[in-house]
Structure formats: structure tokens, C-alpha cells
Structure 1
């Protein structure tokens, strides 16, 4: 456990529980932790173990780092899980044994894992997804059904969120390849479209932005005709992604073209999650900020304009909302708005602590803020220590 006192941890648990309108008995039932233990933790008489802290944080719907400053056990577990994921991938075409879960149990667990991904709960993913991926692969090889292939696809998508965020880029690329393979097994063009969206990570990691833009434009050419919400969301998401990578490539005309296309598709569908990728008008606004920051220079003011009278709604995926504030903080920092930038970084942490802590821009910009604002030492220094910028 980090250096917080038991009393400080207990006070945060109690405050978070009360904000959720839960009683101590409610929390005990939700966690299978005894009521006596919950009471002892909240009054500071007991220090929860890492396992107990995890289940309490999960029941409260927050990351453990919201309850314990500098909590790093999740990060250790994530890194420990990466070799296990790699081993599962090595035998993707010949997994040993039979799935220990029924088809219904697999669908339930894959859906739960997807919810963790959307909430940026990387520690929970790392703990459960390696065995889940192995089980979905076993199910696919024993049943050879499109439904089983979709379960493999979704689980690989969730596993990739951890691999990419924790900079295991070779493993991430292999997981993307597994997604593309599973999409072919399912014979589902929509899954292939989503795989093309996720594959863009490999181009971001290699800073091969022009090549990534070409790959996305090829995927747009191959995508199904945009019929109905699903088809519109699929093409809109690709245009949204293409706008961002065009911005990183410094191609402002291509960025503007793809962003305009994404906006048109966004106007046709409600904000929702399509194959694990959120798309709709709000997501397009968030990506408009990313495009402006990617282009830099005179474009940065556009990011500030978007955020001037709009904020992401709370029902969007946590990682996407956190990313909005991280990119906004960069635009604010470049514009000389240091206090606003720090406020945005704190908002990102509140929404998705693990995502913020692992984001290289958040670390870099926090370090820059600390150099610029040494007189405001205490709160900024605590944040910098939490994020690993000192």
C-alpha cells in the first residue's frame, strides 16, 4: 500500500460510497466483504489489502487510485499479464483443451470485459482477459460458428486496449492481427471495418501517419455501403479516425475532408457503441479537438473553441472522455493557459485514472506545467508524483 494513512483511505471510501447513495451494508453485499470490515476500513481502523481495495473500488465504480494516492498494484498486474497474453496468442490456431465456460457464460464474460475496456479498467482486464481469450479461442475451434468468432474478436479488442496503452506495441499488433483473423472467420464485414479502425494504433505507435491514412482510406473503399445506423456508424468511425491520423501527418486538407464526412455520418446516428467503438456527434466533437491538436499552430484555437461551450457527456466511454481532457490540456498549455491545462488534466484523472496515468502526453504536459509553475508547488507536485512525471 502507498503512503496514505488508513484514516485517509477510509474517508475516501466513505465519501465515495455516500456519493453513490450506498449504505455500508450495501457496499458489504456488493463486495462480499464483511460489514465489520467495511466499517473498520471507513473509520481507519483497518488497512484494506490490495485484493479488498480492488473489490471495494469495483463496487463503487472507481479505480483504486481514486481511493489510495499512487496506487500502483494494477500497473504491476498489467505488466505481469502481458506474457500470458502472448502465450495465448502463440497457440491461437491450436489451443489446448476445451473451454471451461458454456457459450452463455462466455457471452456474459466477454460483455463484462468490454464494459471494463470502455471504463478504462485495465487492471481488471489484465486479471481476467488472458484466460477469457483462451476460452473463446477454444470455443471457436470446437464449434466453428460466427458467434464464437465474434467472441474472439471482442476479447482480442479488449486485450489490445491494455497492450497498446501499456506500450506493448508488438503484442498489440499481434492482437490486431487476431481480430482481423476472427473477423474473417465470422465472415462479418462490420468486424473487418472495426479491425481497420483499431489497426490504426500500429501506425500511431510507429509514427507512420501517412501510411496509416492510406490504410484507412483503403478500408473505407472496402467498407460495406452505409445502410442503417450500423453502416453509418462504421463508415463514420473510419472517417473520424482518418481525420485524426491526417492531422498527425500534417495533412490539413485531408483532415478537414474526413472530419466533415464524420460529422455528416454523426448527424445520422445516435451516440452509441458500435462494435466496441463509440460513434456519434459527441465522439466527432472529441475527435475535432484531437485533429486540431495534431495539426498544431493556428489550428489549436479550434480545440479551445470546441471546449468553450461543450463538454463530453458522462455516458460516453471513460477513456474517450479522459482523452478529450488530455488533448484539451495540451491545447491550453500551448495557448499559455497553464491553470486551465492543469484543471483539464485533473478532470481526465477523475474520469479515467489508469488511462490518464499511462498517457504519454499527460505525463509530458504535467512535467512542463511543473517547470512553469514552481510557485504552485504542492497540488501540482502531488499530481506529478502520481502520474510519474517526477
Structure 2
């Protein structure tokens, strides 16, 4: 079992324990480990295996990557897990024999994976998803619509890791498996959700015009928006269509889709619908994203949209982190380097795994470092953290 080196982990555990206002005994009990083990970890007398690290993180309500002394270890673990995520679906139509938990337990496991995805907790996803995917495939998604729906959600969690870490071919395979599973359910809302996720393949290949066409076809085929889940599914498609229209420099199409997303968001509260956040706050974040996608001529629009506003904490961490990453780019383009750096630091605090390997974070951190006339230890440390060059 891999063991995290002693260096730094004890201080991190103690710090987050103090933030959570837990005694050593309370944390040990919550993590189901002996208090003596916890004391040794905190004073640096021993390291922590993956199971202990995950148990401590779960008890503290944080991602395991926050406890790792060398943050590069989290990324290296995720990269090393990509082959296992690939093998898990290599023969999806020829599942291995093995045990399968009852449907309620599978549903709970998939819900947990969705929570990790929304919080950008990629280490947890890579540790648990290969086995869960195998179990779902053995459960028979080709003849059980409930299992097929769970498989689609689990694939979305795995795809989040593959896409985030540049395994675009694997991401595309997961999306195709999601489409296969969605077809087994006959659920138009799930089909819309998969169309939303499928846009990643067009972003990855810079095929933005095709992506916009695919989304508009999905909008035309979507279920009538007469229930909150259907309204949210259609609204999410319009949000994403607006962003990809921005990438094609089609400001009129982007504005039309944003207007429709805004109209639909007025009909439902901000919440997670079918694994996707939708509501007024999500639409506002996408308005910023569209402005940044349209380029420097629209940067003032991005700053006007967020003037005096911050994303509410109940939004998924990944969405909030993405907001601050895009805001940082708008601030940098507007000649506000200090504001841009503050936004990047908020993005890191919000979802460190999401921010660390984001291309724009690296690019903007490198630009900020070049712009500084004096050496900034804080900025240099941040640039090294995200591998900015």
C-alpha cells in the first residue's frame, strides 16, 4: 500500500483538525483509526497509507490532496491511475464475473462519486471508480435501465478525470459509453445531460462550430421544459451552447443562448439537477465565461457582470474555481495583475486539483511572474505549484 512521506503531512493534518475544531480523539474516532496512530502522524513519527489518508480527509471533510506534503504527488497518482480507468471499460460488453451489490448500494456509491466530481476530488475518483465501473457493467446495464443510468453517471465522474488530465481519447470513449447507456434508459433528460458532457470532445479538438451544431440539435430534441429537471437540462444546454458560440466568435448566438438560459434559470432554484448545477448563479458564471471566450474586446463586460458579486458557497467547488480562473484572465487583460493573482489564489483554495493543472492558471501565473518588476516569493511559489514556465 502506498504510503505518503512523513514530511509535512502531520502539520497539515493538525492544521485541518484545528480548523474543524476536533480533538485528536474525535478525529481518530471519526476516521476509525487509533488515536496513537494519529498522534504519531501529527508529530511526524510515521507516514500515512492511502486508506488512512482518505479516512482522515473524509473525517475532516476535505480532499486527500490537501493533506499531501508534496502536491505533485496528487497529480502523479491521478496520472498513474489513467490506465486503470481505461482498462475498466476496455471490454464493457464483456464484463468479468464477480459480486454485485444491491441497487440501493450501487446508487449510493454513484452518488458519492458524483459528489467527488462536483468537488474536483479526483484522487478519490481514481481510487474508487475502476472497481465501481466493473461492478456496474456486471450488473447488466444493457437490460436494466436503472443500472444504465447509474453507469452513465459513473462514467461522467471518470470522464472528468480523463478530460481534466488531457487523456482526450479516453474521455471520448467514456462519453460514447455514456451515450450508449443513456440510450438504454430512454430518458430524454439523461440524453440531454450526455449531450452537455459531449461538448468536451469539441472543446478538446477546437471543433467549436460542430460543437455548437451538436448542442443546438440536442436542444431541439430535448424534453419539453415543463418540470424542474427538464428545465435545468435544457437550460444547461443553452449555457454550454453560449460558451462554445463565444469560442466561435459568434457573439449574437452566444447572447441568444444566454438569454434563453437566463429565462429558464428564473423558473428554478439554483441546485444540482441530474449531476449538473443550474440556476441563476450558474448562468451568471457562464456569462463571464462567454465574455472571456469572446476575447479582449468583451473583457469589460465580464468585469461588469461580477461587480459586487461572488459565487455562493453552495455552488460546486469546480464551478466556483472555474469562475475565478476566468475572472483572473479578464482582470489580467484589463491591467489588474494584483486582482488577477488574488482570483487565482481563490481558485486554488476552492478546488486545488482543478486549478493546479488548468492551462489558463499556468499561462496566467507565468504572465504575472513576468510582469512583476520585483521578486515576489508568494507569486513564485504559486507559479512553481502550478508548473508555470
The answer to whether the Cα contact below 8 Å between 2:344 and 2:361 also exists between their aligned partners in 1 is: yes
Within 5 A, what are the aligned runs for 1:93-132? 93-132=93-132
Change in CA separation of 1:2 and 1:100 when aligned onto 2, cut-off 3 Å: closer
1:230 aligns with 2:217: no
**1:218 aligned residue:** 217
Q: Partners of 1:136 and 1:64 in 2: how far apart?
A: 25
Q: Partners of 1:81 and 1:12 in 2: how far apart?
A: 25
Scaled by the length of structure 2, the TM-score of the pair is 0.94
**1:337 aligned residue:** 336
Secondary structure of the equivalent of 1:258?
Answer: helix
Q: Partners of 2:293 and 2:330 in 1: how far apart?
A: 10
Secondary structure of the equivalent of 1:375?
Answer: coil
Change in CA separation of 1:255 and 1:334 when aligned onto 2, cut-off 3 Å: same
Secondary structure of the equivalent of 1:144?
Answer: coil
The answer to whether the Cα contact below 8 Å between 1:69 and 1:386 also exists between their aligned partners in 2 is: no
The alpha-carbon deviation at position 97 of structure 1 amounts to: 1.1
1:84 aligns with 2:77: no
The answer to whether the Cα contact below 8 Å between 1:78 and 1:123 also exists between their aligned partners in 2 is: yes
Change in CA separation of 1:53 and 1:381 when aligned onto 2, cut-off 3 Å: farther
**2:177 aligned residue:** 178
Q: Partners of 1:98 and 1:49 in 2: how far apart?
A: 27
Q: Partners of 1:153 and 1:106 in 2: how far apart?
A: 13
1:283 aligns with 2:245: no
Secondary structure of the equivalent of 2:306?
Answer: helix
Structure 1 window deviating more from structure 2 (80-89 vs 266-275): it is 80-89
**1:245 aligned residue:** 244
Q: Partners of 1:198 and 1:210 in 2: how far apart?
A: 16
Taking only aligned residues, the RMSD between alpha carbons, in angstroms, comes to 2.0
Deviations 1:71-111 (A, max 9, x none): 23322222222222222322112212144322222111111
Secondary structure of the equivalent of 2:139?
Answer: helix
Q: Partners of 2:130 and 2:259 in 1: how far apart?
A: 39
The answer to whether the Cα contact below 8 Å between 1:189 and 1:224 also exists between their aligned partners in 2 is: yes
Within 5 A, what are the aligned runs for 1:28-177? 28-49=28-49, 51-141=51-141, 144-177=143-176
**1:206 aligned residue:** 205
Change in CA separation of 1:12 and 1:88 when aligned onto 2, cut-off 3 Å: closer
**2:260 aligned residue:** 261
Change in CA separation of 1:30 and 1:374 when aligned onto 2, cut-off 3 Å: farther
- Unaligned 5+ runs, structure 2: none
Structure with bigger helix share is 1
Change in CA separation of 1:210 and 1:359 when aligned onto 2, cut-off 3 Å: same
**2:306 aligned residue:** 307
**1:193 aligned residue:** 192
- Unaligned 5+ runs, structure 1: none
The answer to whether the Cα contact below 8 Å between 2:148 and 2:185 also exists between their aligned partners in 1 is: yes
Change in CA separation of 1:4 and 1:340 when aligned onto 2, cut-off 3 Å: farther
The answer to whether the Cα contact below 8 Å between 1:63 and 1:354 also exists between their aligned partners in 2 is: no
What stretches of structure 1 move > 6 A for 4+ residues in a row? 1-5
**2:327 aligned residue:** 328
Q: Partners of 2:50 and 2:367 in 1: how far apart?
A: 32
**2:19 aligned residue:** 19
The alpha-carbon deviation at position 226 of structure 1 amounts to: 0.6
The alpha-carbon deviation at position 55 of structure 1 amounts to: 3.0
The answer to whether the Cα contact below 8 Å between 1:290 and 1:324 also exists between their aligned partners in 2 is: yes
**2:385 aligned residue:** 386
